[in-house]
Structure 1
Amino acid sequence: MWVQEKECRGIIQESWHEGASRDLMDKLLLCYARLEEWGGGMLKEMRVKLSEHRKELQRYRSRRDADGFRRYNEEKHNSIKGLQDENGEWKDTEDEVQGIISRYFYDILSTRTTGESMPDRIKFARISEEQGDLPEDVNRTLACLIPKVKQLKRMVELRPISLCNVMMRIISKIMANRLKPCLHSIVSEKQSTFIEGRLLTDNALIAFEINNYIKSKMQGREGVGGLKKSEKLSGQVINYDKSEVIFSPNTRTEDRVLICECLGVKQTVKPGKYLGMPMCVGRNKTEVFGFLKDRVQAKLQGWGNKDLSKQEKLTLLKTAAQVIPSFWMNLFLIPVNMCEELERKMNAFLWGRGSTGKGVKWMAWKKLCRPKECGGLGVRDLRNFNLAMLAKQGWRLLNETNPLVSAIMKAKYYPQTDLLNTEAGANASYIWRSIMASLRAVKAGTRRKIGNGIDTNVWKMPWIPRLEDGYLTSAMQNYLGHITVNNLMVTGEKRWDLTMIKDIFYSHDVEEIKRIPLPLSDTRDS
Structure 2
Amino acid sequence: MEPQGNWLEELEDVAGVAVQYFNDLFSSSPCTRIDECLEAVPQKVTLDMQQALSCEFTADEIKASLFQMGPTKAPGLEAPTQSAFAPGRLITDNVLVVYEALHTMHGRRNGKTGSLALKLDVSKAYDRVEWNFLRQIMLKLGFPGVWVDRVMSCVSSTSFSILINGKSFEASGQCLNMEKSSVYFSSNTLPKKRESIKALLGVSEVDRFESDLGLPTLVGRRKYHTFSYLKDRVWKKLQGWKGKNLSRARKEILIKAMAQSISMYTIGIFQLPIKLCEELQSMCARYWWGQIGNERKIHWLSWDKLSRPKSEGEMGFKNLRQFNLAMLAKQGCRLMQDQETLVFKCLKARYFPRCHFLEAFDPPNSSYTWKSIMVVKPILQKRSCWRVGNGETIWILKDAWLPNSPTNKVLLPI
* TM beyond 0.5: yes
Cα distance between partner residues in 2 of 1:207 and 1:463: 35
- Alignment counterpart, residue 241 of structure 1, candidates 179, 203, 206: 179
Aligned to 2:104: 213
The answer for the alignment partner of 2:212 in structure 1 is 274
Kept in 1, the 8 Å contact 2:117–2:183? The answer is no
Which residue in the other structure is 2:396 paired with?
458
8 A contact 1:367–1:375 mirrored in 2: no
Equivalent-residue separation in structure 2 for 1:114 and 1:261 (angstroms): 18
Q: Distance in 1 between matches of 2:213 and 2:109?
A: 27
CA distance in 1, matches of 2:31, 2:197: 25
Which whole-Å CA distance do the structure 1 matches of 2:62 and 2:66 have between them?
A: 20
Code of the aligned partner of 1:244: S
1:22-33 equivalences under 5 Å are none
2:183–2:203 contact (8 Å) kept in structure 1: yes
Aligned partner of 2:76 among 183, 187, 194: 183
Match 2:199 to one of 245, 258, 261: 261
Q: Which residue of 2 aligns with 1:391?
A: 329
Where 2:70 maps in the other structure, the secondary structure is helix
Higher relative contact order (CA 8 A, sep 6+): 2
Code of the aligned partner of 2:300:
W
- Deviation per residue, 1:395-417 (Å, 9 max, x gap): 11111265211111000010111
Q: Does the Cα contact within 8 Å between 2:215 and 2:266 map onto a contact in 1?
A: yes
* 2:296 aligned counterpart, secondary structure: coil
Q: CA deviation at 1:458?
A: 2.1
Query: Residue 310 of structure 1 contacts residue 351 of structure 1 at CA under 8 Å; is this kept in 2?
Result: no
Find the residue that maps to 1:271 and give its secondary structure: coil
Distance 1:357 1:469, change over 3 A: farther
Deviation at 1:178, TM superposition (A): 7.8
Deviations 1:154-194 (A, max 9, x none): xxxxxxxxxxxxxxxxxx9977318969513xx21222112
Q: 1:376 Cα shift?
A: 2.4
Is the 8 Å Cα contact of residues 182 and 206 (structure 2) preserved in structure 1?
A: yes
What does 1:13-24 align with in structure 2 at a 5 Å threshold? Answer: none
- For 1:285 and 1:106, the matched residues in 2 are separated by 42
Write the letter of the residue equivalent to 2:96.
L
Q: Distance in 1 between matches of 2:410 and 2:115?
A: 49
Q: Which residue of 1 aligns with 2:28?
A: 107
Q: Are 1:470 and 2:363 matched, yes or no? A: no
Cα gap change, 1:358/1:250 in structure 2, threshold over 3 Å: closer, same or farther?
Answer: same
Rounded to whole Å, the distance in 1 between the matches of 2:210 and 2:329 is 26
Instruction: Name the SS of the counterpart of 1:249 in structure 2.
Output: coil
Contact 1:91 1:97 (C-alpha < 8 Å) held by counterparts? no
Q: Which position in structure 1 is the counterpart of 2:267?
A: 329
Distance in 1, matches of 2:66 and 2:315, equals 38
For the residues of structure 1 that align with 2:219 and 2:93, how far apart are their CA atoms?
A: 17
Q: Is the 8 A contact 1:329 1:386 kept in 2?
A: yes
The unaligned stretches of length 5 or more in structure 2 are: 36-55, 120-128, 138-173
Q: Distance in 1 between matches of 2:94 and 2:382?
A: 28
Find 2:350's aligned residue among 412, 416, 427. 412
CA distance in 1, matches of 2:70, 2:391: 38
Question: Structure 1-normalised TM-score?
Answer: 0.58
Q: What is the distance in 1 between the residues matched to 2:206 and 2:389? A: 50
The equivalent of 1:302 in structure 2 is 240
Render the CA deviation track for 1:446-472: whole Å, top value 9, x for unaligned: 222211111222244332223455343
CA radius of gyration, larger in: 1
Say whether the 8 Å CA contact 1:82–1:97 is kept in structure 2. no
Question: For 1:281-430, what aligned pairs fall within 5 Å after superposition?
Answer: 281-356=219-294, 358-400=296-338, 402-430=340-368
Superposition pairs of residues 129-140 of structure 1, within 5 angstroms? none
Shift of 1:375: 3.9
Question: Residue type matched to 2:251 in 1?
Answer: K
Within 1, Cα distance between the matches of 2:359 and 2:189?
Answer: 35
Query: What is residue 46 of structure 2 aligned with on the other side?
Result: none
Instruction: Tell me how far 1:196 sits from its aligned partner.
Output: 0.9
Structure 1 counterpart of 2:288, one-letter code: L
Deviations 1:17-60 (A, max 9, x none): xxxxxxxxxxxxxxxxxxxxxxxxxxxxxxxxxxxxxxxxxxxx
CA drift at 1:329: 0.8
- Between the aligned partners of 2:358 and 2:342, the Cα distance in structure 1 is 19
Query: Secondary structure of the residue that 1:412 maps to in structure 2?
Result: helix
Mapped to 2, the partners of 1:267 and 1:464 lie a distance apart of 56
Could you tell me which runs of 5 or more consecutive residues in structure 1 were left unpaired when the two chains were aligned: 1-80, 84-88, 116-124, 133-171, 475-503, 506-526
Aligned alpha-carbon RMSD (Å): 3.6
Q: Tell me if structure 1 keeps the 8 A contact 2:397–2:410.
A: yes
User: Are the structure 2 counterparts of residues 285 and 82 from structure 1 closer, same or farther at C-alpha, using a change threshold of 3 Å?
Assistant: farther
Q: Is the 1:370–1:377 contact (alpha carbons within 8 Å) kept by the matching residues of 2?
A: yes
Contact 1:208 1:280 in 2 (8 A): yes
Deviation readout 1:285-329 (Å, 9 max, x if unpaired): 111111100111111111111112223222221221111111111
Contact 1:443 1:469 in 2 (8 A): no
Write the mapping of 1:36-115 to structure 2, written as runs, cut at 5 A.
81-83=1-3, 94=13, 95=16, 98-107=19-28
Could you tell me which amino acid in structure 1 is paired with residue 91 of structure 2? L
Cα distance in 2 for residues equivalent to 1:470 and 1:233: 55
Q: Give the percent of matched residue pairs that are identical in Structure 1 and Structure 2.
A: 33
Aligned equivalents of 1:326 and 1:353: distance in 2?
A: 25
Corresponding position: 1:193 with 2:131: no
Aligned residue pair count: 339
* Rounded Cα–Cα distance in structure 1 between residues aligned with 2:408 and 2:247: 47
Give, in whole Å, the separation in 1 of the partners of 2:209 and 2:271.
20
Q: Residue by residue, what CA displacement relative to the aligned partner does 1:251-308 show, whole Å, maximum 9, x if unpaired?
A: 2222222222222222222211011111011111111111100111111111111112
Contact between 1:447 and 1:462, CA under 8 Å: does it hold in 2? yes
Structure 1 residues 466 and 249: alpha-carbon distance in aligned structure 2, compared to 1, 3 A threshold: farther
Distance 1:285 1:264, change over 3 A: same
